[in-house]
Structure 1
Amino acid sequence: MRRKVKIFVYPHDMNDPYSNIYRAWETVPTGNYASEAYFKQALMKSSFVTPDAAEADFFFMPVSITRARIDKRVGTEGVKQFCQKHVTAVRKDWSYWNRSGGVDHFYLSCHSIARTAMELVPEVRHNAIQLVCPSSYHLHYYITHKDASVPQIWPRDGNTPEAFRSRGNCRKRLAFFAGAINSPIRLQLHKEWGNDDEIFVHKGKVTFPYSEGLLTSKFCLHVKGYEVNTARLGDAMFYGCVPVVIADYYDLPFADILDWSKFAVVIPHLNIPLLKKTLKQITPAQYARMHQYVLQVRKHFQWHSPAMEFDAFYMVMYELWIRRHTVRNSLQ
C-alpha cells in the first residue's frame, strides 16, 4: 500500500479568500473534530501525495467542512452551497471527476454536519468515498462499504497509560459512563442504572478526573447521543477499558479491517435492562482476552503528526486501499 497508492490533492489558490478552508492545519490540531485536521496534516506530509494527477489512484477534495462551518462568511447554513461550489469547480477545471463519475474521489469530515454537507451534490453521495464520523446505517446519505467510518478522537499528549494501570485486575468497577443525557437511549440508561452500585452512570461531569473512571472500570459505555459516534470509543481504548457500544446502526470505525467482536461488546438499546446480566456473563478468561485485544488495537485509534505506522491515519489509508479494486472496475 505504501509503495503503490498515489493520491492527488486538488490544489487551491493561496490568494483565494477561502484558502483557509482548503489548506492543512499549520498547528497541532485540537478539539472534538481534530480527526479531520490530523488526517489532512498527515496526508500532506506523506509519500502518498503525487503532483501528477495522471498517476493518481484517488483524488482528495480538501474542503474542510468543519472550517467552513465556523467561517462566518459560510456558517452552518451555507455549508451545502459551499461544498456544491467546490465540486462544481473541480468538475469544471479538471477532467478526472467526469472520467470516473467521482468514484475515485474522496473527502473526510468528522463533524456531524457532514451528514448533509453534500446534500446538493448527489453524485458525491452516490459515487465518491465519504470518510466520515457520523457513519450510521440509518443515514440516508451514508453507503456502507463504499463509504467508511473514521473514529472521532480527542488529541492526546504523551504515551498511553502505564501498563500496570491498564491491567484488567486493577479495575474494580463493572462499567462506567459519564456525559450529557441528550438522547432517549441515554435517558433510558440513566433511568435503569443511574443508582446502581456496580454500573456507574453519571449525568454530566464527574467530580473526579474522567480518566480515573476509565482506568478503574472493566467496561466503558459508548451510548448514542445526538449521533451514534462520540470520542468515547477512543477514550476507552486509550485507557485500556473494554468498550460497550449501545448505539444502534453504528458502522463502527475500521469495521472493514478490525473484528470488533474480539475487543468490544455491542448491545442493542432494547437490551439496556439486561446490561448487567450481559456483562457478568463474560467470564474472567473471556474478559482477559478482550482486554488484551484492546491494548493491541488502541494504536489504531490514535493520531500523530507526522503519522506513525498503524495509527489512525494509516488505517484510513488502508480503508482506501481495500476499495481500489472497486474503483478500478468502475473505470474500465
Structure 2
Amino acid sequence: MPFYSKIMDEGAAASALASSAKAKTRKPKSTLISRIHAFFHAMNRKPLLKQTLITFSLFGVLYALFNAFFNPSLDADATAATTTVRSAILAAAGGGGRGGSPPVKVYLYDLPHRFTYGVIQQHSLARGARAPHTVSSLKYPGHQHMAEWYLFSDLTRPDSERSGSPVVRVMDPEEADLFFVPFFSSLSLIVNPIRPAGSGPGPEKPAYSDEENQEALVEWLEAQEYWKRSNGRDHVIVASDPNAMYRVLDRVRNCVLLVADFGRLRPDQGSLVKDVVVPYSHRIRSYDGDVSVENRKTLLFFMGNRYRKEGGKIRDILFQVLEKEEDVIIKHGAQSRESRRAASQGMHTSKFCLHPAGDTPSACRLFDAIVSLCIPVIVSDNIELPFEDTIDYKKIALFVDTDSSIKPGYLVSKLRAVTAKRILKYQKELKEVKRYFEYEEPDGTVNEIWRQVSKKLPLIKLMINREKRLLKREADCSCICTNQTTFRTL
C-alpha cells in the first residue's frame, strides 16, 4: 500500500472513531454565557498584545450595540462603529483580505524597457507600424495569451481600483512576499518568427530574437539581490504559451510559473504543486443572454484548426467521424476577425461545443465555450484545468475519453441522450462560473489567478527555509516538485 494511501486510511479510521464518540455525547446547548466563557478561555492562548487589542475591541462592539439599542437615531453611526471595530478585531486576530487572510504583498519588478513595452513595440514594428513616440501610445495586441498583460496592468492600477484583490502591491522589496516578473514572454514568442535577422530598412528596425531576450532576462534576474536570496522561488513568471520561456526553463523552474498546461514541461520544470494553471483569454464575444435550449438549434459545434501536432492529431479523426452528422457543425477555421465572428455565432447557438486537445492538452476554445454558455465536450485525456479548487468541472462540462470519442456514432448518441432539463442545469452552472474566465471583469480571472498564486506562499516559505538549513546540496528536484497528476481508481 502506498504511504499516502496508508495515511488516508488511518485518518479515515480516526475520523470515524471521533464521529462515533461525538454521537454518544450530547453537546450542551450554547448560551451567551458559555460563548463569553469560551471567548476568554481562547484569549488566554493568545499573546498579550493581541489579548489587549481584542479585549478593547470587544468592549467597543458592546458599547456600539448598547448605543444602537438605547439611541435608535444613532443606528447609522452604531453600524459604522460596529463595522470598524469588527475590522479591528479581524486585524488583531490576523484576519482581513479575501477569505479572512491578509493580502499577500507583491513587488512588481521595474524591468528594463526591452522586456515589457519594448516587446510590444517590436511586435508593432514587425507588422509594419511606425515606432510610437511615447510608451502611453503603445497598445498591447489582443491574443489568447493575454494573461501576462492583464496581471501587469492590474498591479500598475491605483489601489482604489483593486478592491477585493488577494494581493497588494508594495513599493519596498523588503516588504514583499512575492516578486512579479512582468516579462511579456508569450508576446515575445509571437514576435520572434515574423522578421528574419538582417531584414528591415535600417537600424531603427533591428532584428528581434526571443531567445536572446529570454537569456538576457534571466541574466538580469540572477544579478538581483532578491533572486539570489531565494534562488527565484518567490518569483512569479507568466509563461502561458506552451513554448514561452522554452530556452531558459531550467533556470527559472524554481519560480511560480503561470502556465496554460504542462504539455511542454518536464515534471522537474512544472507541476500543480508549485505552479498555477491559468485560462487562455477568450477571443470571442461573451454571451449575455439567459439560459435556453430553444435558441440553441445546433447539437455540437467546433470551429478551429483541423490539423495539429502531438495530442492534437485527434482533431483530424474527429472531423472524419463527425462532419457528416446531423445537427453537428465542425469546420476548419484559422485565427481571424471573421473566424471569431463566425465562432461567436456558432457557440451562442449550440448546446455543446467540442474541445479536442490542441498541440498541448488545452486550447483557447474551451474558454470561448464557457463564456458562451455552450457546454464543453472535452476530449483531452491529460488536460489540467484552472481553478479546480473552486470549480467542479463535472458540473459544467462533459468529459469523453479519446478512444471512445472516435467510435462512429458514440459521441453524438451520448449528447442526444442529455435531457433539456440537464442542459439547462449545465448552462446555469456555466453562468455562475463564467466570470472566472473573463479577464476584464472587476472580480474575474485576474483576482482568481492572484488567489491561486497567494496559496503557494506557505510552500514557497517552506522550500526557502529548508534550502537554507541543508548541510549539503540535494538533487535539484524532490518529490515535492514533481507533477504527480495521475490518479488510480479502483
- Which residue of 87, 103, 108 corresponds with 1:9? 108
Stretch deviating more after TM superposition (180-189 or 204-213): 204-213
For residues 274 and 157 of structure 2, the distance between their equivalents in structure 1, rounded to whole angstroms, comes to 26
Unaligned runs of 5+ in 1: none
For residues 34 and 218 of structure 1, the distance between their equivalents in structure 2, rounded to whole angstroms, comes to 28
- 1 or 2 for the larger relative contact order (CA 8 Å, sep ≥6)? 1
Q: CA deviation at 1:53?
A: 0.8
Alpha carbons 1:152, 1:234 under 8 Å: kept? yes
Q: CA deviation at 1:246?
A: 1.5
Q: CA deviation at 1:89?
A: 1.5
- Structure 1 residue 288 corresponds to structure 2 residue 288: no
- Which residue of 234, 247, 255 corresponds with 1:128? 255
Q: CA deviation at 1:128?
A: 0.8
- Structure 1 residue 111 corresponds to structure 2 residue 231: no
- Which residue of 189, 199, 203 corresponds with 2:332? 203
Unaligned runs of 5+ in 2: 1-96, 121-134, 160-167, 196-205, 466-490
Residue 171 (structure 2) aligns with: 51
Q: CA deviation at 1:7?
A: 0.8
For residues 376 and 115 of structure 2, the distance between their equivalents in structure 1, rounded to whole angstroms, comes to 43
- Which residue of 129, 139, 154 corresponds with 2:265? 139
% identical aligned pairs: 23
The alignment's TM-score, normalised by the length of structure 2, stands at 0.59
For residues 275 and 233 of structure 1, the distance between their equivalents in structure 2, rounded to whole angstroms, comes to 17
What is the identity, as a one-letter code, of the residue corresponding to 1:280?
A: R
Alpha carbons 2:108, 2:155 under 8 Å: kept? no
The alignment's TM-score, normalised by the length of structure 1, stands at 0.84
- Which has the higher Rg, Structure 1 or Structure 2? 2
Q: CA deviation at 1:12?
A: 2.6
Alignment of 1:34-183 (within 5 A): 34-45=146-157, 47=159, 48-69=168-189, 70=191, 75=208, 78-92=209-223, 94-114=224-244, 117-125=245-253, 127-133=254-260, 135-136=261-262, 139-140=265-266, 141-154=269-282, 160-163=287-290, 166-183=291-308
Q: What is the SS of the residue equivalent to 1:209?
A: helix
Alpha carbons 1:155, 1:303 under 8 Å: kept? no
- Structure 1 residue 251 corresponds to structure 2 residue 350: no
Stretch deviating more after TM superposition (256-265 or 315-324): 256-265
Q: What is the SS of the residue equivalent to 1:325?
A: helix
The count of corresponding residues between Structure 1 and Structure 2 is: 318
Structure with the higher fraction of residues in helix conformation: 2
Q: What is the SS of the residue equivalent to 1:293?
A: helix
Report the CA distance shift for 1:167/1:25 in structure 2 as closer, same or farther (over 3 A). farther
Stretch deviating more after TM superposition (254-263 or 215-224): 254-263
Alpha carbons 1:24, 1:40 under 8 Å: kept? no
Residue 322 (structure 2) aligns with: 193
Q: What is the SS of the residue equivalent to 2:303?
A: strand
Q: CA deviation at 1:19?
A: 5.4
Alpha carbons 1:186, 1:223 under 8 Å: kept? yes
CA RMSD of aligned residues (A): 2.9
Report the CA distance shift for 1:155/1:53 in structure 2 as closer, same or farther (over 3 A). farther
Q: CA deviation at 1:150?
A: 1.4
Report the CA distance shift for 1:28/1:173 in structure 2 as closer, same or farther (over 3 A). same
Report the CA distance shift for 1:74/1:247 in structure 2 as closer, same or farther (over 3 A). farther
Q: CA deviation at 1:74?
A: 6.7
Q: CA deviation at 1:215?
A: 1.5
Q: CA deviation at 1:255?
A: 2.6
What is the identity, as a one-letter code, of the residue corresponding to 2:318?
A: L
Alpha carbons 1:181, 1:225 under 8 Å: kept? no
Q: What is the SS of the residue equivalent to 1:270?
A: helix
What is the identity, as a one-letter code, of the residue corresponding to 1:139?
A: L
For residues 463 and 172 of structure 2, the distance between their equivalents in structure 1, rounded to whole angstroms, comes to 21
For residues 320 and 18 of structure 1, the distance between their equivalents in structure 2, rounded to whole angstroms, comes to 21
For residues 148 and 24 of structure 1, the distance between their equivalents in structure 2, rounded to whole angstroms, comes to 30
For residues 268 and 217 of structure 1, the distance between their equivalents in structure 2, rounded to whole angstroms, comes to 22
For residues 83 and 39 of structure 1, the distance between their equivalents in structure 2, rounded to whole angstroms, comes to 19
